[in-house]
Structure 1
Amino acid sequence: MSTAVPRVRESDCVFCEIVGGRAPSYRVLEDVHAVAFLNIRPAAPGHTLVVPRVHARDMWEISEVSHGHVAAMAHRVAALLNATLAPDGVNVKHNTGEAAGQDVFHFHAHVVPRWHGDNLRLAWNSPLAQPAELEEVLERVSAGR
């Protein structure tokens, strides 16, 4: 049984609608390659989404060049949020696939301002891996290069 998420047509993509100006948004920054707008379900004040203007479903579909444009815009957004909101830190996060928490299937990066004591939990507390586990994973990954 397949658990694959159906492909989203660009005409059905809310982020394509925002990029095209057909859906409302609170734009923070934009250029010819990417658009940054406030998340309507913010994890923190200033939580901004950065999307490429060209539709790409996720990290596995976006081109390296387009991903670079999104990364550059995320960098600019983080600097702007730092200058205007003065957070204590920032998280830049992306989810690919439903299993990772992706719920809009147009590549996007979250830029989330952070303040001491905000109680937002985006990190995990994993046990230290054993060297044998790391070697086994490295061996598998290296075989695919």
Structure 2
Amino acid sequence: MRDAECIFCKIAAGEIPSKTIYEDEQFRVIMDISPATKGHALILPKEHYANLYEIPEEVAADAMKLAKKLAKKMTDALQCDGFNLIQNNGEVAGQTVFHFHMHLIPRYKNDGNEDKLCWNHVELSEEELEEIHQKLIK
């Protein structure tokens, strides 16, 4: 199913031009038009799923397999020094387009993003850690 108002649905369907680097029956992979680094690309499912919570497990698994395949190809082709694979869910987590997508971001020494794509660490007491642990194992 597609969302007629979703820009990523339109791109994935080929209705909006993009620099496509890979396509199959499930996915279109495009160059990001506002890249974090040279080679930054997006994996877009052709079906509409707002986020990780909505995407079927099989499609999510296929997206991860594709990400691995493309990360290897991009690392070889672009000679990058590392690689970020990012998938945001919800506005607070940085999601700006509400169509599941994965960012493939080649990383280079001194690319200007060394201090980005990370977070501040929080300190939790042993009691807080145990409370969280108990919630997650139920």
State TM-score, norm by structure 2.
0.91
The residue aligned with 2:36 is: 43
The residue aligned with 2:118 is: 123
- Percent sequence identity is 36
Matched positions, count? 135
Contact 1:93 1:110 in 2 (8 A): yes
Contact 1:52 1:69 in 2 (8 A): no
Aligned equivalents of 2:137, 2:108: Cα separation in 1 = 39
Q: How does 1:50-129 map to 2 (within 5 A)?
A: 50-120=43-113, 121-129=116-124
Aligned equivalents of 2:82, 2:126: Cα separation in 1 = 32
Aligned equivalents of 2:26, 2:56: Cα separation in 1 = 12
Please state whether the residue corresponding to 1:113 is helix, strand or coil: strand
Aligned equivalents of 2:122, 2:51: Cα separation in 1 = 28
The residue aligned with 1:142 is: 137
Structure 1 residue 32, shift from structure 2 partner: 1.6
Please state whether the residue corresponding to 1:80 is helix, strand or coil: helix
Structure 1 residue 102, shift from structure 2 partner: 0.6
State TM-score, norm by structure 1.
0.87
Stretches of structure 1 that go unaligned for 5 or more consecutive residues are: 1-8
CA-based RMSD of the aligned residues comes to 1.3
Structure 1 residue 141, shift from structure 2 partner: 1.8
Structure 1 residue 127, shift from structure 2 partner: 3.9
The structure 1 segments of at least 4 consecutive aligned residues displaced by more than 4 Å after TM superposition are none
Bigger mean CA offset, 81-90 vs 125-134? 125-134
